[in-house]
Chain A
Amino acid sequence: MPKVITLEAAPDLRQIYVSAALKRRRVGDTLPDVRVARAGVSVDVPGLAAYARVCRLPLGATLPLTYPHLLAFPLQMVVMAGDGFPLPLLGAVHVENRIEVTRAVAVDELLDIDVWAQDLRPHRRGTQVDLVSEVSTRGELVWRGVSTYLARGAEHPDAPRSEAPSTTPLAAVTGGPQWRLGDDTGRAYAGVSGDWNPIHLHALTARPLGFPGAIAHGMYTYARAMGSLGPRLAPEGLTSRVWFRKPVPLPSTVRLRTAFAPESTLSVLESASGDTEHAVVENTWAP
């Protein structure tokens, strides 16, 4: 039986980041058997509205697909900051994310959230792990997220790769929305998401962690992409995956190109010049 840590409220991520910065971590090869849970979470509508505004999402009767991740993320951090977690929290990079929406979640539903880590495994540039988040209401699983984080370290050139789908269908797609992301983008998203990871805030806080400047939160650019696809996607029975390829430096201008199929979409988020592929987003749904 896993140890279950039940939280009464969302933890303050700034404290977690600060204590993580002070902590020396022993690198291991096993995950602690821990689950972090919150029960009966109600969505704070002003907070949701602020998130929606920053990510250019509509404030609708149901939650944006990416919003439950925001509720689960602090719990992920508690798992990763906990004793015995084998990867360093600071500098860990979100490389891949998968969200399955069984049914649309109304803004006023009470949510039970469960988070745990699994599948610690080598990555060609270090070690990666999946943080699984399940959101249910009255015992019904409505939303499931799998966030894959990479801690750079010893390289494993032969590690199996999780490849994004081929972007060949996008070859003929020339247009798509273009967004100017200002240098305050990371701070704005930190303010609404609570993700104060220093790599997103300012060049001065990002450099010590190995980045030449601040980079956009992956879940921010992904949320904006999902917002712009929103009405073209099925609201329920949807699986949405994103592969974060190259960080989006701040400030920068990016564009989204999408190929639409009857039961799927495939998008690439790239630099305005088209030189750098930042992320690939794939959505699939049942007919």
Chain B
Amino acid sequence: MAASSVPRAATRQPRRVAVLGGNRIPFARANGPYAQASNQDMLTAAVDGLVARFGLAGERVGEVVAGAVLKHSADFNLTRETVLGSRLHPTTPAYDVQQACGTGLEAAILVANKIALGQIDSGIAGGVDSASDAPIAVSEGLRQGLLAANRAKSTAQRLKALASIRPTQLIPAIPQNVEPRTGLSMGEHMSQTAARWSITREAQDELAAASHAHLAAAYERGFFDDLVTGYLGVSKDTTLRPDTSTEKLAALKPVFGKGDGATMTAGNSTPLTDGASVVLLGTEEWAAAHHLTPLAWFVDAETAAVDYVHGDEGMLMAPAYAVPRLLARNGLSLQDFDFYEIHEAFAATVLTTLAAWEDADFCRDRLGLDAPLGSIDRSRLNVNGSSLAAGHPFAATGGRIVASLAKQLSEAGGGRGLISICAAGGQGVVAILEA
């Protein structure tokens, strides 16, 4: 290497990444209006809506990154296949990611990082999930038997392999919302954590009612007019109940947890939903060249994971760990935000996370902090509704939140927003946007 040459990487500064907009299809209760739509159908609809809104037809964007949590094995290249079926230029590269409910936000982080590093100038991040068009697998015994038969070299070996299959193994395996290592559903995990933190039924129902009221009000004032494109005759999230109230929610029977202490109902837990969302990210220069105005800047992000398998920590508590690390790196306190988007996997998830940040013991023993992070101004929380009202097609939630928060910050004329999303496997993905 010539002595005078300076490695280019050393001179290259990270670039600011703008959130330019987003698009999603309305989220719909599983086995409802999108029952026949595949993940690829819905993601394509979301991408094509974005393309139409931002005039990107025939354009090659830097990269499209998306994923699905419930994914058919045939969809191994889901995002690239979606690009090829969309109005983007077919030379647009794409790849899939999967980080459970953190997928959509993680996709945005990956795109933002490549933009910041100068590897791409623009990108689309998103996610899709169908709880209706779910993959059904053959049982493990049947799969092993069929594979052995396929490997067999003689008819006798093949018959022997096929004979090993028991009739009960012919029953297909339908995917379940269960953690592989604990056998507990996400709701059961959450109910244990909620009980540990003494989260009351009333507080959960209040949060759920607020989510519906906020989402209804946001639709009412046209907030979603340039964030949502109708699909298959649906123009609004079908799980939204504008007329619900804490009284109505209080009448529901608990579905998770046991006995008198059970507090989690279908009303304060997210329903299974189908939907897709995407966001458009780019540099200032790319935005200007496309006559687009940045809504907000994608500032920083952090992920965390907790050891929940043997009960050391609650399965959905990882964001409580990710946020203080993100705050420390950016020199911010928990109170330095104008808006908080804490994904409502369950109302109890939001409430335990907030309780943990207020708890001196937790902050000292678990987070290693001198003082608790403290409480937040609840009027700044999920101001346009969140997953309890909108629904939660797992991988599509991140895109919904990034686009909504960016627009909210832009409408407010500036400010800072925090995103916190919990994910299966004891993981959490969090990010900061600024405008």
Query: Could you say which residues of chain A place their CB within 8 Å of the CB of B233?
Result: 45, 106-108
The 0/1 profile, CB within 8 Å of B marked 1, for residues 13-49 of chain A is: 0000000000000000000000000000000011001
What is the bound-complex CA distance between A50 and B36, given in angstroms? 8
The 0/1 profile, CB within 8 Å of B marked 1, for residues 53-66 of chain A is: 10000111100000
Q: Does B237 reach chain A (CB closer than 8 Å)?
A: no
B87 touching A59 by the CB < 8 A rule? no
A46 with B36, Cβ < 8 A, contacts A58-B41, A58-B85, A231-B85 known: yes
B231 touching A61 by the CB < 8 A rule? yes
Query: How near does chain B come to A158, taking the closest CB pair, in angstroms?
Result: 46
| Nearest residue, chain B, Cβ from A45 | B232
Most A CB contacts (10 A, CB to CB) among B25, B35, B233 go to B233
Query: Could you say which residues of chain B place their CB within 8 Å of the CB of A108?
Result: 230, 232-233
| Nearest residue, chain A, Cβ from B235 | A108
Query: Could you say which residues of chain A place their CB within 8 Å of the CB of B87?
Result: 231
A231 with B84, Cβ < 8 A, contacts A50-B36, A59-B37 known: yes
What is the bound-complex CA distance between A59 and B43, given in angstroms? 10
Query: Could you say which residues of chain A place their CB within 8 Å of the CB of B35?
Result: 46
Q: Does A251 reach chain B (CB closer than 8 Å)?
A: no
Contact for B38 among A46, A59, A61, A232, CB less than 8 A: A59
Query: B-side binding surface: helix, strand, loop or mixed?
Result: loop
Q: Does A230 reach chain B (CB closer than 8 Å)?
A: yes
What is the bound-complex CA distance between A235 and B33, given in angstroms? 24
Query: Could you say which residues of chain A place their CB within 8 Å of the CB of B45?
Result: 58, 60-61
A59 touching B85 by the CB < 8 A rule? no
Contact for B49 among A50, A58, A61, CB less than 8 A: A61
Query: Could you say which residues of chain A place their CB within 8 Å of the CB of B41?
Result: 52, 58-60
What is the bound-complex CA distance between A58 and B35, given in angstroms? 14
The 0/1 profile, CB within 8 Å of A marked 1, for residues 201-243 of chain B is: 0000000000000000000000000000111110000000000
| Nearest residue, chain B, Cβ from A47 | B36
Contact for A49 among B36, B40, B84, CB less than 8 A: B36
What is the bound-complex CA distance between A125 and B229, given in angstroms? 50
| Nearest residue, chain A, Cβ from B231 | A61
Q: Does B48 reach chain A (CB closer than 8 Å)?
A: yes
Contact for A45 among B33, B38, B229, B230, CB less than 8 A: B33
What is the bound-complex CA distance between A106 and B45, given in angstroms? 12
B232 touching A61 by the CB < 8 A rule? yes
What is the bound-complex CA distance between A45 and B232, given in angstroms? 7
A58 touching B44 by the CB < 8 A rule? yes
A49 with B37, Cβ < 8 A, contacts A58-B44, A61-B49, A231-B84 known: yes
| Nearest residue, chain A, Cβ from B51 | A231
Chain A interface bracket (under 10, 10 to 19, 20 to 34, 35 or more): 10 to 19
| Nearest residue, chain B, Cβ from A50 | B36
Query: Could you say which residues of chain A place their CB within 8 Å of the CB of B36?
Result: 45-46, 49-50, 53, 59
A60 with B48, Cβ < 8 A, contacts A45-B233, A231-B86 known: yes
Query: How near does chain B come to A49, taking the closest CB pair, in angstroms?
Result: 3
Query: Could you say which residues of chain A place their CB within 8 Å of the CB of B230?
Result: 61, 106, 108
B232 touching A58 by the CB < 8 A rule? no
| Nearest residue, chain B, Cβ from A232 | B90
What is the bound-complex CA distance between A52 and B44, given in angstroms? 14
The 0/1 profile, CB within 8 Å of B marked 1, for residues 106-141 of chain A is: 111000000000000000000000000000000000
Query: How near does chain B come to A193, taking the closest CB pair, in angstroms?
Result: 16
Query: Could you say which residues of chain A place their CB within 8 Å of the CB of B49?
Result: 61
| Nearest residue, chain B, Cβ from A49 | B36
What is the bound-complex CA distance between A58 and B78, given in angstroms? 13
B40 touching A58 by the CB < 8 A rule? yes
Query: Could you say which residues of chain A place their CB within 8 Å of the CB of B85?
Result: 58, 230-231
The 0/1 profile, CB within 8 Å of A marked 1, for residues 5-38 of chain B is: 0000000000000000000010000000101111
A61 with B37, Cβ < 8 A, contacts A230-B85, A231-B84, A231-B87 known: no
Kindly identify, within residues 182 to 223 of chain A, every residue whose CB is under 8 Å from any CB belonging to chain B. Answer: none
A107 touching B232 by the CB < 8 A rule? yes
What is the bound-complex CA distance between A53 and B85, given in angstroms? 14
What is the bound-complex CA distance between A256 and B49, given in angstroms? 28
B86 touching A59 by the CB < 8 A rule? no
| Nearest residue, chain B, Cβ from A60 | B45
Query: How near does chain A come to B64, taking the closest CB pair, in angstroms?
Result: 13
The 0/1 profile, CB within 8 Å of A marked 1, for residues 102-132 of chain B is: 0000000000000000000000000000000
Query: Could you say which residues of chain B place their CB within 8 Å of the CB of A231?
Result: 84-88, 90
Query: Could you say which residues of chain A place their CB within 8 Å of the CB of B90?
Result: 231-232
Query: Could you say which residues of chain B place their CB within 8 Å of the CB of A45?
Result: 33, 36, 232-233
Query: How near does chain A come to B36, taking the closest CB pair, in angstroms?
Result: 3
Query: Could you say which residues of chain B place their CB within 8 Å of the CB of A107?
Result: 232-233
Q: Can you give 10 A-B contacts (C-beta < 8 A)? A: A46-B35, A52-B41, A53-B36, A58-B40, A59-B232, A61-B231, A106-B230, A107-B232, A108-B232, A231-B90
Which 9 pairs show the lowest CB-CB distances between chains A and B?
A: A49-B36, A108-B233, A59-B41, A61-B231, A59-B37, A231-B87, A58-B44, A107-B232, A46-B36
Question: With contacts A59-B38, A108-B230 known, what are 6 further pairs, Cβ within 8 A?
Answer: A45-B33, A46-B36, A49-B36, A58-B44, A59-B41, A61-B25
